[in-house]
Amino acid sequence: MYDDEARKSMQDTLDALREWSKEIGAVNGRCLPKVIDHMTTAQRAMGWPDHVSFATGPSDRMHYFLLFPVVHETLLKACKLESEVIDKVAEVCFASRLI
């Protein structure tokens, strides 16, 4: 089927993907809570509420503080997606039966 070199290169790829995923998980675990805490502190320091509400009145414009929950949610999704994509690629490598 495949020679030793092909199997070894795929195993090396799989190992590198697993290591990358593990490192990303560790970095996200350390950094994301810090970023969220700093964002929350900044939001409060600016006098913006913790909850999402909508402006009503003459301008009917969205307040800037609404960006914080959106950014928070986007960061959480991005971190999760990043790891999921790497893990899926690793699954494909493993499922390819090259290893």
Q: With bands split at pLDDT 50, 70 and 90, how would you rate the model's confidence at 98?
A: low
How high is the pLDDT of residue 84?
93
How high is the pLDDT of residue 55?
47
From 6-10, 15-19, 82-86, 95-99, the region with the lowest mean pLDDT: 95-99
Q: With bands split at pLDDT 50, 70 and 90, how would you rate the model's confidence at 97?
A: low
3-state secondary structure of 60: coil
Q: Got the DSSP string for 4-47?
A: HHHHHHHHHHHHHHHHHHHHHHHHHHHHHHHHHHHHHHHHHHTT
pTM above 0.75, yes or no: no
Length of the chain: 99
- Helix, strand, coil share (%) of the chain residues, nearest 5: 75, 0, 25
